[in-house]
Homo-oligomer: A and B are copies of this chain.
Amino acid sequence: MTTELSPDALTGLLERARQDYQDLVGRGLSLDLTRGKPAPEQLDLSADLLSLPGGRHTAADGTDVRNYGGLQGLPELREIFAEVLQVPAGQLLAAGNSSLELMHDCLVHALLSVLPGAESRWVDQERIAFLCPIPGYDRHFALCERFGIDMIQVPMTAEGPDMDVVERLVAEDPAIKGIWCVPKYSNPDGVCYSDATVARLASMNTAAADFRIFWDNAYAAHHLTDEPVETAGLLAACAEAGNPDRAFVFGSTSKITAAGAGVAFFGSSPANVQWLLGNNAKRSIGPDKVNQLRHVLFLRDADGVRAHMERQRAVLQPKFETVARILDAELGGTGLATWTSPKGGYFVTLEVPDGCAKEVVRRAAEAGIVLTPAGATHPYGDDPRDAVIRIAPSYPGLAELEQAIEGLAVCVRLAGYEQQAG
């Protein structure tokens, strides 16, 4: 990524970067690009939710949604998201307000109960490991760390995880029980898994009979262009390949309706769904069905979800365009950075010269621009190249976002040229 610069040219560029950085610090900014948080404007799109269900309290089958029960969640809500998540409604479970909770609980139940196909509880096995395509989502890694699950890094390609590596590892090591996947508009680099990747994941030989793909389809409906990406459905592919119990599909409306007050989903084979329902039955007398009815009345059907996501896109797309425009204007041709142009999702990945990411984040913080910590995209927060920075453009307004990305570009120039100057 480095360019040949004469010593004089470098001195001039570094001088300018230092001056720009001083100016930046002088502006006393206070901006936050850390998290994939919806902006208030996006939440306002679901304002009607806040008065629903109004006078209504019965589900389509007459169930009183206010009372206990209904562990699998409202059938009519599962119908809507069956299409979005590519899981038959009968194999879908509608739960609380967080898909991360469902992932956590699937790990807990696998540790403390016996998964279909498993020989014993994971907690009774000497070692449990998960494959972690990198860069990836820090909260996935934090779950592994919290439960003492070893993380084995796998490089990402433009089509998903490097399947040659994945296939080799899972074939030889029975301790590898799972892989984290964000199959569409991945966090953080916006990769969409190819059909070939999905097919290979579904059909590969695994040494562990109880291997599971944690398929976090967080951005299934979160397009940013006129050409929504379609990815192959994992659940059907696994069933066809004779591995019906391999897929755990997760999704939620957190970035569709309300980030803190949405509905999360789990989809899998009948055996896995029964396993989770059986464990959930000990834990709860049922999810918040009032909130589920609220979502049914608000979203109506899968077309309603699509129409709503077009309104979300109208808010988000200009922000992603702003990031691209400024990075191009400020860093294009410098040889100091590359960045992604995702067709959906919530993030832009910025790659800076090796050894510079932490310095860029530190400099930005000093100038009042808070970024996700460098390294967060890697297990244990450790990016061995120290090169990847995740940008989350959704929350700030356009004007603030411009300031933040301009400031970030200054920090990249400063750190990059300082490194080159030695």
What is A's interface to B at a CB cutoff of 8 Å? 35, 37-38, 40, 43, 46-47, 50-57, 64-70, 96-98, 100-101, 104-105, 108, 111-113, 123, 139, 142-143, 146-147, 254, 258-261, 279, 282-291
Contact = CB atoms under 8 A, between A and B. Distances in A.
A66 B258 contact: yes
B260 A67 contact: yes
B282 A98 contact: no
A291 B287 CA distance: 13
Nearest to A143: B282
A259 B66 contact: yes
Most chain B CB atoms below 10 A, which of A54, A67, A105: A67
A66 B260 contact: yes
Contacts of A279: 146
A255 to B, nearest CB: 10
B259 A288 contact: no
A96 B288 contact: yes
Contacts of A254: 68
Contacts of A290: 50, 258, 260-261
Given A53-B50, A108-B108, A290-B260, A285 B98 contact: yes
Nearest to A142: B282
Contacts of A112: 108, 111-112, 123, 147
Most chain B CB atoms below 10 A, which of A37, A65, A283, A285: A283
Given A101-B284, A261-B288, A66 B51 contact: no
Nearest to A146: B282
A381 B193 CA distance: 49
Top-10 shortest CB links A-B: A261-B290, A104-B283, A66-B258, A43-B66, A68-B259, A97-B288, A98-B284, A146-B282, A261-B288, A67-B259
A287 B288 CA distance: 12
28 contacts: A46-B66, A50-B56, A51-B54, A51-B55, A66-B258, A66-B260, A67-B258, A67-B259, A67-B260, A68-B259, A68-B260, A69-B260, A96-B288, A97-B287, A98-B285, A100-B285, A101-B283, A101-B284, A104-B282, A105-B283, A108-B108, A112-B112, A142-B282, A258-B290, A260-B288, A260-B290, A288-B288, A288-B291
A195 B345 CA distance: 57
Nearest to A57: B50
Nearest to A264: B284
